[in-house]
Amino acid sequence: AVAERLSARDPDDALDTLDDDPDHAPHSRQEPGLGALPGGRGARKEALVDIVDDPLQLDWQKPRNHWGRRLIWSLLIVLAAAALAGQYIAYHFDELARQDQYRPWFQQLCPSLGCEVPSKVDIARIKSSNLVVRSHPDFAGALIVDAIIYNRAPFSQPFPLLELRFADLNGQLIASRRFKPGEYLSGELAGKAEMPSQTPIHIALDILDPGAKAVNYSLSFRSPE
């Protein structure tokens, strides 16, 4: 029965009842005054007075700049690399100075450094022709070796060492000898250090006869260094 009474009521009547009820009337928001707050301005002033006005000391250091140390290490690395390069150049000086790509640099620097650029050497460009071995007309048991040698390189180079070899019919070596430039040069070329380019040079050598089995002979060239 109670439920029926509640459902039978008009919703609009319920709203009107709420509007007429003074207990449900809207109220304005009650904000406490600033003076009523505990610890207001007076308390703030007292707290500020209690602060001790001491100077602040900040322990701050400027970060160190390590460019000086880096510069020193860079210089040490450069000096070490230069020392290694200098040792390599000194050890391979002749070889490097004879190469076409490096030779102009050595030719410019050596007059100032007091070094001497070595002559270029290309033994493969030295050729021989007209090699003749015959009995010596004045001495028994001796032979005379005649030959023409050429420097086919476009540059002059030191006179080579001559190597004369004798072999038997089977190619077995019987005797050999090497001759220095001072031993085979004569006339105007005596004492000369370099072999001119594209110039035929006649040589004549006196040697002991290696025997009747030495029927084959050859002339080759070796580097003077």
Domain assignment present for 173: yes
What was the pLDDT predicted at 14?
A: 47
pLDDT band at 115 (very low <50, low <70, confident <90, very high): confident
Which of 33-42, 127-136, 190-199, 215-224 shows the lowest per-residue confidence on average (mean pLDDT)? Answer: 33-42
Task: Give the pLDDT score at 141.
Answer: 92
pLDDT beyond 70 at 199: yes
Residue 133 and residue 95 share a domain: no
Question: Are residues 144 and 217 in contact, defined by beta-carbon separation less than 8 angstroms?
Answer: no
Domain that holds residue 87: 76-113
Average pLDDT, the chain: 80
Q: What's the pLDDT tens digit per position in 68-96?
A: 788 899 999 999 999 998 899 888 888 88
The CATH code of the domain that includes 161 is: 2.70.50.60
Q: Is position 58 within any domain?
A: no
pLDDT at 7: 46
Q: What is the pLDDT of residues 17-75, one digit of tens each?
A: 445 555 545 555 555 544 444 555 555 555 555 555 666 666 666 666 677 788 899 99
d(CA 47, CA 91): 86
Q: Does 192 map to a domain?
A: yes
The predicted pLDDT at position 202 comes to 95
Q: Give the number of domains in the chain.
A: 2
pLDDT at 210: 94
Per-residue pLDDT band at 151 (split at 50, 70, 90)? very high
> Do 157 and 195 fall into the same domain?
yes
Same domain, 129 and 213: yes
Q: pLDDT band at 1, cuts 50/70/90? A: very low
What percent of the chain stands above pLDDT 70? Answer: 71
Domain termination site, one of 91, 113, 135: 113
| Domain final residue pick, 113, 138, 172 | 113
Domain shared by 100 and 137, yes or no: no
What are the DSSP E strand ranges found in 107-160? 126-135, 142-151, 157-158
Strand partners, 124: none
Residue by residue, DSSP assigns 105-116 as HHHHHHHHHT--
Taking the C-alpha atoms of residue 216 and residue 137, their distance in angstroms, rounded to an integer, is 21
- Within a domain: 26: no
How much is the pLDDT for 97?
86
Tokens of 101: 């790509």
Shared domain check, 217 and 127: yes
Clarify whether residues 90 and 173 are in a common domain. Answer: no
- Write down the pLDDT at residue 60: 64
Together in a domain, 131 and 215: yes
Q: Which of 113, 136, 167 is the last residue of a domain?
A: 113
Residue 181 lies in a domain: yes
80 and 149, same domain (yes or no): no
* Within a domain: 104: yes
Confidence of residue 124 (pLDDT cuts 50, 70, 90): very high
Q: Is residue 149 part of a domain?
A: yes
Mean local confidence (pLDDT), 119-128:
92
Do 136 and 207 share a structural domain?
yes
Per-residue model confidence (pLDDT) at position 209? 94
176 and 217 assigned to the same domain: yes
173 and 95 both lie in a single domain: no
In a domain, 187, yes or no: yes
Provide CB contacts within 8 A for 178, sequence distance 6+: 161, 162, 163, 164, 222
108 lies in the same domain as 128: no
